[in-house]
Amino acid sequence: MTHWTQDKIQLGHGGGGRLTGRLIRDAILPRLDRGHLAELQDSAILNSLSGPLAFTTDSFVVSPIFFPGGDIGSLAVHGTCNDLACAGARPQFLSLGLILEEGLDIKKLHEILESIARASDNARVEVVTGDTKVVPKGSADKVFINTSGIGSVKAHAALSMARIHPGDCILVSGPVGNHGLAVMLSRADFSFDFNLESDSASIWPIVEVLLELGPSLKFLRDPTRGGLAATLNELAAGSQMGISVDESTIPLDESVISASEILGIDPLQAANEGKVVVVVEGGKAQKALELMVGCGPGQHASIIGEVTSHRPGVVVMNTRIGGQRIIPEPSGELLPRIC
Amino acid sequence: MTHWTQDKIQLGHGGGGRLTGRLIRDAILPRLDRGHLAELQDSAILNSLSGPLAFTTDSFVVSPIFFPGGDIGSLAVHGTCNDLACAGARPQFLSLGLILEEGLDIKKLHEILESIARASDNARVEVVTGDTKVVPKGSADKVFINTSGIGSVKAHAALSMARIHPGDCILVSGPVGNHGLAVMLSRADFSFDFNLESDSASIWPIVEVLLELGPSLKFLRDPTRGGLAATLNELAAGSQMGISVDESTIPLDESVISASEILGIDPLQAANEGKVVVVVEGGKAQKALELMVGCGPGQHASIIGEVTSHRPGVVVMNTRIGGQRIIPEPSGELLPRIC
C-alpha cells in the first residue's frame, strides 16, 4: 500500500468490506459512539422516546468545507437540530450519511468527524446510525453530509402558520447574514480580515425558553437559504397576511454590513445557521424578547416587525430614511452551496 | 427563460427561493404527499408512534440511475425499508434528501419521483419530510438520494449477533447477486440480453411472517454491498463463530451465473437489494423455510448453512464437487456505486 492510499479516501472505504470496517472502527466510532453506534447494526433501536416526535432531514453541500466559525460537520449537526427546534422539538437523535469523494484527505475527514462530535455533544444530541458511501474522483466534490434527526415535541401548541394573525409580532434571535457572508468571504480571497464568522449553532436553548409562552408562541423558522428575506416571504405567503418590518430594528453586525457592501450581497438574503425567526402574540412580544435576551445565544434578539391585514402575502420594510420598500422573495440562486 | 433552463435543473432549484418552491409544488408534492409533506414544515410531526423505534439512514449513489428492475428512487425506498426490517421493525416513515446536479433533466427527476411514490406505496411507507440541494455541474453525478427511516419494532426478542450459537441455521430468502450483476450489465453495453433484473424490493413481508418464530429468530441482515460473502463474514466475525455453507444450496439464477462468468464477478460478492439472510435456532430451520416459501417474495428461500464452533470468524463453503473453500471477506471495492 502506497503512502497515497493511506492518506486518501479510496473507493474501497465505501465498499462495505474490510476498508469500510476499518474506517468505521478507526475514524468514526472513537469520536461519535455514545452508546448506539458501536453495535454497527443497520438500524439503531431507540427505546426512550415517547409522545409526538419531530422528524427532519437535511443534506449539506457547503463549499468550502471549512469556513470561519465552522465546517460542514458542525453545520450538519446544527442545521438538523435547528429544523427540529423550529417544530418545538428537543433534538435527540441524529443519523449521519457521508458521501465522500475518492481522494479526499483522510485527515480532513477526521477533522470533520471531530467537529460533528463536538457539535453533537454541545447540542446534547446523539449520532445513533450512519452510512458511508464513496464515489469516484470527480463524481462529487470532497464531501456531502446528510443528517436526519428525531426530537421530542415539547411545544404546548402546534407551531403553525395557520395560527398567525394580524397584530402578532415578529422577532429575530440576533444579527443576520453572518453565515452566508462568512462562507462567501472564505471563497473570495481577501487580503484583509473582516473578522466575520458563521453563526452556526444550535437554537434549541433559545426555543426552550420561549416554550414558556405556551400557545402565545405561534411559529418558529430558522432563516437559512435565502436568509431573513426568504423566511419573511414564506411567512407572508403561508399565512396570507401582510408583514411589516422596520429596517432599524433588524440586527446586523458591522462586519456583515461592510462585507455585504463589498460582495454586493444583500445581508437579508444571506443564510443564517444559528438564528430563529419567532412569531408571537402581540401582547407577548416584550416577554418573548426578555426570554430570548436572558438566554445566552439570544442576547442580541430584537422585535423586528408585525403581522398585518394589509397587502396579504407581501413583506414591506419601513426604511431608516422613512420610506417603504418591498422585500421580495429571493429568486434563483445567488449563493450556491451555502449550506 | 430559455428552453434549456425549463428542462434542466438549475442552481436556483436548490436555493430555497421561488424556483425551489415551484419544484416542490409541481414535482414533489403531487407524487409524494400522503398527508405530512404538504405542510412544508422543516420537520414532520409524527403522532402515531409508540414502543421502541428503529432509525436508520442510507445514501444512494448508484450509477446508472436507471437499471433493469429499478432506479435510484425505488432503490432508495427499498434499501432503507430493508434496514428497518432487519431490525425487526415495520417500516413506517421516510425522509427524502435529494442532491441534484445542475443540468439534470427534469424529466428524469420526475421519473425518479414517480418511482419513489410507487415503491413507497407498495411498501406502505410514507415520505414525510425532505430536502433538496442543487450543486453546480461537475460537483456531483446526476442525483444522489439519502433516505432515512423510522419503523416500529415488532420483533419479540432483540435481533442480535450476540444471540447466535453453534447449531443455529442460516437461510437466504432467494437467489443472490441479481442487483449487482444487473447494474454492472447495464454499465457494460452488451449486444445480447441476459434477462437479468435487480431484485430491488421491500423484504418486510418476509420478515413479518418470520416474527412468528419468536425468540428462535436470532438475526436478520440484508446482503447488500459485498453481497452474501460480506454478510456471512460479518456474521462470523461478529458472533465469533464458524460458519459452514453448502454451495449447492445457495440459490442462483441461471442468468446471474452466465453474467457473472462473462463479467468475472463472483455472484456471492454481488449486491442484493431485496433479499434477507436469516439466522434461526437449528430446530426451527424447517419452519422458517416454510414460512418464507409460503410468502410470495420468499418462495425461492433456502437453508444454506449452519453456525459452528469450529474455526471462529471463518466462513467455509462445502463445494459442489466435495471440497471446501474459505469465502473471504470482500476487500477493496469491486463494484463502485452499486447502490
CA dihedral A78, A83, A85, A91 (to 10 degrees): -60
pLDDT in tens, A76-115: 999 999 999 999 999 999 999 999 999 999 999 999 999 9
pLDDT number for residue B5: 54
Per-residue CA distances from B188 to A147, B63, B87, B191, B271 (Å): 34, 12, 35, 10, 17
pLDDT in tens, B114-135: 999 999 999 999 999 999 999 9
Q: Is the Cβ pair A138, B138 closer than 8 Å?
A: yes
pLDDT in tens, A304-314: 999 999 999 99
Q: Is the Cβ pair B42, A151 closer than 8 Å?
A: no
Q: Is the Cβ pair A337, B136 closer than 8 Å?
A: yes
Q: Is the Cβ pair A59, B99 closer than 8 Å?
A: yes
pLDDT number for residue B43: 92
Strands B89-101, A324-326: parallel, antiparallel or unpaired by DSSP? Answer: unpaired
pLDDT in tens, A190-203: 666 788 999 999 99
Which of B11, B55, B144 should one mutate to test binding to chain A, selecting the residue with the greatest count of A CBs within 10 A?
Answer: B55
Where are the domains positioned within chain B?
A: 11-153, 161-326
Q: Is the Cβ pair A129, B55 closer than 8 Å?
A: yes
Q: Which CATH superfamily is domain A161-326 in?
A: PurM-like C-terminal domain (3.90.650.10)
The fraction of chain A above a pLDDT of 90, given in percent, is 84
Q: Is the Cβ pair B144, A148 closer than 8 Å?
A: no
Strands (E), chain B: 44-46, 53-60, 66-67, 70-71, 89-101, 126-135, 143-153, 169-172, 217-221, 242-246, 277-280, 302-308, 315-318, 324-326
Which of A50, A53, A57, A153 should one mutate to test binding to chain B, selecting the residue with the greatest count of B CBs within 10 A?
Answer: A57
- β-bridge mates for residue A44, sequence order: B55
Neighbouring CB atoms inside 10 A of A40's CB total 16
pLDDT number for residue A173: 98
pLDDT number for residue B2: 43
Q: Please compute the mean of the pLDDT values over residues A32-43 and round it to a whole number.
A: 88
pLDDT in tens, B313-339: 999 999 999 999 999 988 766 678 999
CA nearest neighbour of A85 among A239, A274, A226: A274
ipTM for this prediction: 0.95
The fraction of chain A above a pLDDT of 70, given in percent, is 96
B1 pLDDT band, cuts 50/70/90, is: very low
CA distance to partner chain B, nearest, from residue A51 (Å)? 7
pLDDT in tens, A106-132: 999 999 999 999 999 999 999 999 999
CATH classification (class only), B11-153? alpha beta
Q: Reply yes or no on whether the pLDDT at A242 is more than 80.
A: yes
Task: Tell me the pTM.
Answer: 0.96
Residue of A nearest to B53 (CA): A46
CB-CB contact of B144 with B51 (8 Å): no
pLDDT number for residue B81: 98
